[in-house]
């Protein structure tokens, strides 16, 4: 189950811009990221006139769009069977985030959610902008931190809008506290173990596996690999 961070705030405070920058920094660190955005006014992927729209109009219940490096899915899935929770927008009700994440993003390290300010059991960070409002849209006790372009009197962690690296560092610390990670990679120098956080382990593991995969080895599906470097 990935760690979930909900980026909340009033309209036009910079939530989408912040999430976009966070995605880039997380990916730079080798962390897989899923994103869920609340769209109170609906959305449309299959535009009128496109083949996918034609198939939908003809009555297709599901359509897959397959390209060289992308797969897109359009489905009229019935979510009524999933547990419901308040959406926080005009009394609307949506499937619980945990159910959506379990079904769509279970293989991710982290999921960033834009909106769903009334969702329970998620790590919430509120974005404030002085030109919009200086008031919170969530109770302070529901928040881990705020991202703001002005100083607040809140006794919780505060960041500026461009503090992308510090925000991701903060997220990583939260993730490390909440997940017990097995040691997939161990590094020893002169016999002394060097601590590696889970994401550094993942990067080292993936790089080495990619190199080893290009070699012709006699062992398929190895359970353990040792690499010794003598200086």
137-165: pLDDT as tens digits: 988 888 999 999 999 999 999 999 999 99
Closest Cα partner for 31 from 195, 179, 223, 227?
A: 179
β-strands 84-86, 93-95 pairing? antiparallel
Residue extents of the structural domains in the chain: 3-43+72-178, 181-231
Which pLDDT belongs to residue 177? 73
Which pLDDT belongs to residue 87? 43
99-129: pLDDT as tens digits: 777 777 777 888 898 877 777 778 899 999 9
Give the separation between CA 43 and CA 45, rounded to whole angstroms: 7
Q: Which CATH architecture has domain 3-43+72-178?
A: 3-Layer(aba) Sandwich (3.40)
Q: What is the mean pLDDT of the chain?
A: 79
18-37: pLDDT as tens digits: 999 999 999 998 888 888 88
0.75 cut: is pTM over it?
A: no
Residue 25 φ/ψ region, left for φ over 0, alpha for ψ in the -120 to 50 degree band, beta for the rest: alpha
CA 40 remoteness from chain centre = 20
Burial 156-182 (b: 16+ CB within 10 A, else e): eeebebeebeebbebbbeebeeeeeee
SS3 assignment, position 38: coil
Helices (H), 59-181: 97-104, 164-178
């Amino acid at each position: 189950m990935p760690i979930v961070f909900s980026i909340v705030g009033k309209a036009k405070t910079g939530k989408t811009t912040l999430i976009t920058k966070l995605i880039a920094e997380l990916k730079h660190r080798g962390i897989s990221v899923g994103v869920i955005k609340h769209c109170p006014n609906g959305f449309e992927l299959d535009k009128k006139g496109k083949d996918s729209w034609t198939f939908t109009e003809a009555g297709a219940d599901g359509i897959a769009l397959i390209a060289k490096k992308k797969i897109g899915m359009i489905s009229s899935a019935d979510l009524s069977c999933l547990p419901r929770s308040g959406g926080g927008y005009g009394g609307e009700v949506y499937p619980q985030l945990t159910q959506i994440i379990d079904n769509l993003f279970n293989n991710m390290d982290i999921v960033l959610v834009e909106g769903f300010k009334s969702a329970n059991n998620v790590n919430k960070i509120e974005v404030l902008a002085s030109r919009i409002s200086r008031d919170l849209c969530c109770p302070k006790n529901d928040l881990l931190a705020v991202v703001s372009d002005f100083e607040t009197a809140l006794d919780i962690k505060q960041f500026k809008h461009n503090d992308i690296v510090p925000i991701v560092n903060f997220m990583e610390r939260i993730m490390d506290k909440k997940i017990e990670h097995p040691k997939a990679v161990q590094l020893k120098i002169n016999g002394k173990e060097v601590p590696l956080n889970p994401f550094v382990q993942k990067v080292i593991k993936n790089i080495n596996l990619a190199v080893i995969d290009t070699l012709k080895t006699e062992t398929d599906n190895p359970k353990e690999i040792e690499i010794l470097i003598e200086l």
